[in-house]
Amino acid sequence: MINQIYEIELDHINISDWNVRHTDPEKGLEELAASIAKHGLFQPVVLMGEYGNPPYELIIGQRRFLAHKNILHKKKIRAVFAERLNRVQASIRSLVENMTRTDLNHADAAGAITYLYKKLDRDERKVKAETGLSLQRIRQYVDIEERASRKMKEKLRLKKVTPVDVQRVLRAASGDIDKADRLLEKMQKFTPYQKKRMVEYGEEHPHANDDKIIEEAKRPVVERTILVKLSDQARAGLEKAAQKLAMSPDEVAAQAVEDWLSRKGFISA
């Protein structure tokens, strides 16, 4: 039963390949181990298998397991057993558990979400129903996982670039991955406007090389600054959106205003 807690020997547990966290699982493990040593393990790990018939497969709680085994040198860990799950169900459990933690690496999340997307008939609404993630976030993960180069994914893993910037260069490069890699290297110090201009020019001129796109994006323009007084609620929402979308607050605000003006018919298509 899922609510029955057992003391399971660590040597009887294997980390399942279905666990979504593959990048740096031991990063910051000392802090977790110290917390467990002081306060105990509040949340048992989740295993697949039949109690009394080891070995068992760990699907949730990899870092708790590693802290017990590698730092605290415990012999046993508190665990519960999930009902029989197939790979899709196990991936959903692991993904939802890890997505609530801000330290889940983008590459791991993108890989897991894209796997679910493919298994759930490439239906992003089914992924949303299973994970609670927004459609925009699901689309971003799938887009990057399916289109980005290894170099881009490595930069994301190391947090040297943002997902939004990767999507920008993919659009600006019109499907040319090598060109997109070069654009990503060259646009790191761009202003929000320059990034927007890079995408616009690249999409309008799909045969332009990366040097020409960068040159056009850097052309001086007259920018007008408008000061807007926001309520505390709107300001908090703006900050939340900027963090979730990996954009600056200025970019989010500019996009929101432009979208609203377009919907109301004040900007012609």
User: Which has the minimum average pLDDT: 25-39, 51-65, 90-104, 119-133?
Assistant: 90-104
Other Cβ atoms less than 10 A from the Cβ of 121: the count is 9
Please tell me the distance from the alpha carbon of residue 153 to that of residue 170, in angstroms, as a whole number.
12
What confidence score (pLDDT) does residue 1 get?
Answer: 43
Predicted TM-score (pTM) above 0.75: no
Which tens digit of pLDDT belongs to each residue from 179-194? 999 999 999 889 888 9
Indicate if the pLDDT at residue 235 is higher than 90: no
The pLDDT score that the predictor gives to residue 193 is: 85
**pLDDT tens, residue by residue, 129-162:** 887 778 888 898 999 999 999 999 999 888 889 8
Lowest mean pLDDT among 18-22, 36-40, 213-217: 18-22
38 Cβ neighbours under 8 A, 6+ residues apart: none
Per DSSP, helices labelled H in the chain are 29-39, 62-66, 87-99, 106-119, 124-131, 135-147, 150-157, 163-172, 177-186, 192-204, 210-218, 232-245, 249-263
What is the pLDDT of the chain when averaged over all its residues? 84
Residue 9 has pLDDT above 80, yes or no: yes
Q: What DSSP character marks residue 121?
A: T
Region 19-39 average pLDDT: 73
Alpha-carbon distances of 115 from 22, 88, 127, 134, 167, rounded to whole Å: 14, 8, 10, 17, 19
77-122 tens-digit pLDDT: 999 888 676 667 766 766 766 665 545 677 778 888 898 899 889 9
Residues 180 and 208 sit within 8 Å (Cβ to Cβ): no
Q: Report pLDDT for 72.
A: 94
